[in-house]
Amino acid sequence: MKSWTLLAVSNFRLTSLLQKCVEKVKVVNFKPKCVFSSVVSSNYILKFFIHLLVKMDAFDIFKKLTKGVTFSRKHNPREKKEDQKTDYDVNEIKIENVKSEDERVENVISEENQITLLSGLQRSEKRGKKRKRDDEQNEVKMRMLEKEKINHYRNKNNISVVGRHVPEPSKTFYDFKVDPDIIENLQKCNFEEPTPIQKQAVPLMLEGRQILACAPTGSGKTAAFLVPIIMHLKGPERKGFRALILCPTRELAKQTQRECVRLSEGRGLRIHIISKIKKALTQYGSSSSQKFDILITTPNRLCYLLKQDPPAVSLKNIEWLVIDEADKLFETGSRGFREQLDEILKACDGNDRKIAMFSATYTPVVAKWCVHNMKGLVRVTVGQRNAATDLVDQELLFVGNEQGKLLAFRDIVRQGLSPPVLIFVQSKERAQQLFNELIYDGINVDAIHADRTQLQRDNTVKAFREGRIWVLICTELMARGVDFKGVNLVINYDFPPSAISYVHRVGRAGRAGRKGKAITFFTIDDTVNLRSIAHVLKESGCEVPPYMLTLKKKSKQERKKLEKSAPKRDDIITKPIYERIKGGKRNKFKEILKREKAKTKSGIAEKRKKRKAFLLRRKQFQKMKVVERMVQ
């Protein structure tokens, strides 16, 4: 193999440039070996080469640079070995004619001011490439390290994300890229630092990303979607509604509106809730002033407005659509809102529409829909999916039968009840029955259910919030999203229809970092969901008798049936009602009972009469048939 020895050349940049020149004149296997005699600053050398490159062609440059340099073409086996052994070894370079080359360089550059040569710096092109590669590798390593740090922070906060280019979670409110007034409002609410869902969801939504977020009950999901929306809308405009927040109940919508008002203080945003449908029919139509920005409502009311001809509200300018309690709104059937949701989605047909879904529980139906319909979707999960908050101490209590439930509750009261307490029952009738029972026990109690008027419902919620009512009996209506501060105890008087319902009911306690307790009564009739609910308890670190976890898994059909219609239960009554009624009223009640009895007696007699007539007709018919056969 031919080898060249170039003596007395320059530093690294000089060498590599020279090599390029040499390549241009097609010199094969050029291995420059060089040493400096004096120190030249690399900047000046660069300037020098730029000067040369501009003025001369490659051959000229080569000639100029190699002037006076001796090239040895001798075939030297030792040299060959060296060549193979190492790319370039500074210690074994032959130095010839260094001075003359140095002088020449100085001469050429003398026009370009002063030059200082760095002595001892020798690099080959391969080394240069290696350095470049190293730099790239270091950069990759740095990026990986950064990613690892972010992942570590996410793990610490139990955040998991699925999606592309997910921004870093914010550590403090100041890391949110929001205006100072929003941070001030957050601080006014006594929020010290963002909750994990806020840490991840806020930066995501601020970047305009569509998200499906799942985080435990009471973990601040409301502020997580309100902050970016408020930031996005900035101030009031005359475009009609630009953000829409859907909630499953009016109580939750009102609560969200309150929080939105608090967080957007000073911005002048007009936040509306559809409370009176008649007023709404004329308030938001196309002929109105369009001076409104955020609409918070239930799907039913909004659909009613959309169905008017022409529609009584326009959703064309909606930029953010938030579906709170997404899994509930995606439920089909009479209790769900799926059909209404489809109509609303159709009405929000603006180009800029982005969707955010939030819930404490996750269902595959929602996830599937999001994957198919939300571009650039990011899924954010805090903690374990469909798990109850670990701030609540949960207990399953076997009470034998329906009477046992009342006895168990009275026992809890005897041991000492620390209000506020929420009691969940399966129907409005049972809510009323339990209310009638407890009111005679001298407990400061009220009930809320769909049969009560809007005003009654609002007053009850207000009284409970203000501490005028200690025990609130409610149905599934209040299980989702409603935030009563400091609920100490949740009692599932009637067993929840599903594990998801259990998670939401229990989640009314243990909110915003506070601790709480939940007791769930069960009888022998409640075994269908016992196993799955026992698993929820176990996952949130509560003690569960092992037999519950190994109960036979009930079929999906059985569980679905239970979700659709609650099981039949005995009425909640411990004594005959007339025993509790005094004086004249009691006698009246006895009379009513007698009449009822008489009614049933006459009813039985009527039934007997009918049966007799039926039997008689059947006999006659049979006789006729016999006669017909005989004739034939």
Ligand X SMILES: Nc1ncnc2c1ncn2[C@@H]1O[C@H](COP(=O)(O)OP(=O)(O)OP(=O)(O)O)[C@@H](O)[C@H]1O
Residues that bind ligand X (CB under 6 A): 191, 194-195, 198, 215, 217-223, 360, 481, 483, 507, 511-512
The least distance separating ligand X from the CB of residue 146, rounded to whole angstroms, comes to: 26
Token digits of residue 472? 């609130």
Q: Given the complex with ligand X, which of 299 and 507 has the nearer CB atom?
A: 507
Contact predicate 159/208, CB 8 Å:
no
**Which residues, 6 or more positions from 108, have their beta carbon under 8 angstroms from its beta carbon?**
48, 52, 64
| Partners of 296 in beta bridges | 245, 273
- Residue 585 CA to residue 37 CA, distance in Å, equals 122
Contact predicate 529/396, CB 8 Å:
no
The least distance separating ligand X from the CB of residue 354, rounded to whole angstroms, comes to: 20
Query: Which residue of the chain is nearest ligand X when measured via CB?
Result: 220
Q: Given the complex with ligand X, which of 98 and 512 has the nearer CB atom?
A: 512
C-alpha atoms less than 13 angstroms from C-alpha of 122 in its C-beta half-sphere: 19
C-alpha atoms less than 13 angstroms from C-alpha of 215 in its C-beta half-sphere: 31
Q: What DSSP line would sit under 96-149, residue for residue?
A: -SHHHHHHHHHHHHGGG----BPTT----HHHHHHHHHHHHHHHHHHHHHHHHH
Q: Given the complex with ligand X, which of 283 and 384 has the nearer CB atom?
A: 384
- Residue 34 CA to residue 541 CA, distance in Å, equals 72
Identify the residue whose tokens are 């859907």: 246
Q: Given the complex with ligand X, which of 21 and 224 has the nearer CB atom?
A: 224
- Residue 15 CA to residue 9 CA, distance in Å, equals 7
The least distance separating ligand X from the CB of residue 503, rounded to whole angstroms, comes to: 9
Identify the residue whose tokens are 């060249």: 4
Q: Given the complex with ligand X, which of 252 and 367 has the nearer CB atom?
A: 252
Residue 67: burial class (beta carbons within 10 Å; 0-12, 13-18, 19+)? exposed
- Residue 452 CA to residue 428 CA, distance in Å, equals 9
The answer to whether the Cα torsion of 406, 407, 412, 417 is positive or negative is positive
- Residue 619 CA to residue 601 CA, distance in Å, equals 27
Q: Given the complex with ligand X, which of 199 and 569 has the nearer CB atom?
A: 199
Residue 251: burial class (beta carbons within 10 Å; 0-12, 13-18, 19+)? buried
Q: Given the complex with ligand X, which of 328 and 569 has the nearer CB atom?
A: 328
The least distance separating ligand X from the CB of residue 176, rounded to whole angstroms, comes to: 11
Q: Given the complex with ligand X, which of 248 and 497 has the nearer CB atom?
A: 248
Question: Distances from the Cα of 400 to the Cαs of 64, 332, 397, 540, 549, in angstroms?
Answer: 105, 34, 9, 26, 19
The least distance separating ligand X from the CB of residue 194, rounded to whole angstroms, comes to: 5
Token digits of residue 517? 């307790």
Q: Given the complex with ligand X, which of 240 and 481 has the nearer CB atom?
A: 481
Q: Given the complex with ligand X, which of 215 and 469 has the nearer CB atom?
A: 215
The least distance separating ligand X from the CB of residue 228, rounded to whole angstroms, comes to: 14
- Residue 218 CA to residue 148 CA, distance in Å, equals 29
The least distance separating ligand X from the CB of residue 87, rounded to whole angstroms, comes to: 59
The least distance separating ligand X from the CB of residue 469, rounded to whole angstroms, comes to: 19
Q: Given the complex with ligand X, which of 215 and 421 has the nearer CB atom?
A: 215
Identify the residue whose tokens are 């529980």: 361
The least distance separating ligand X from the CB of residue 508, rounded to whole angstroms, comes to: 7
- Residue 151 CA to residue 372 CA, distance in Å, equals 27
The least distance separating ligand X from the CB of residue 138, rounded to whole angstroms, comes to: 38
Q: Given the complex with ligand X, which of 170 and 520 has the nearer CB atom?
A: 170
Q: Given the complex with ligand X, which of 129 and 156 has the nearer CB atom?
A: 156
The least distance separating ligand X from the CB of residue 568, rounded to whole angstroms, comes to: 30
Q: Given the complex with ligand X, which of 122 and 200 has the nearer CB atom?
A: 200
The least distance separating ligand X from the CB of residue 555, rounded to whole angstroms, comes to: 29
The least distance separating ligand X from the CB of residue 409, rounded to whole angstroms, comes to: 24
- Residue 386 CA to residue 218 CA, distance in Å, equals 14
The least distance separating ligand X from the CB of residue 197, rounded to whole angstroms, comes to: 7
Helices 221-233/196-206 angle, 10° precision: 20
Contact predicate 299/345, CB 8 Å:
no
How do 489-492 and 378-382 pair as beta strands? unpaired
The least distance separating ligand X from the CB of residue 370, rounded to whole angstroms, comes to: 18
Token digits of residue 486? 């400091």
Question: Distances from the Cα of 182 to the Cαs of 187, 207, 221, 244, 305, in angstroms?
Answer: 9, 17, 16, 20, 32
Q: Given the complex with ligand X, which of 35 and 253 has the nearer CB atom?
A: 253
Q: Given the complex with ligand X, which of 486 and 576 has the nearer CB atom?
A: 486
The least distance separating ligand X from the CB of residue 217, rounded to whole angstroms, comes to: 4
**Which residues, 6 or more positions from 229, have their beta carbon under 8 angstroms from its beta carbon?**
205, 243, 245, 294, 320, 322
Query: What is the rounded end-to-end Cα distance, in angstroms, of the chain?
Result: 125
How do 421-424 and 271-273 pair as beta strands? unpaired
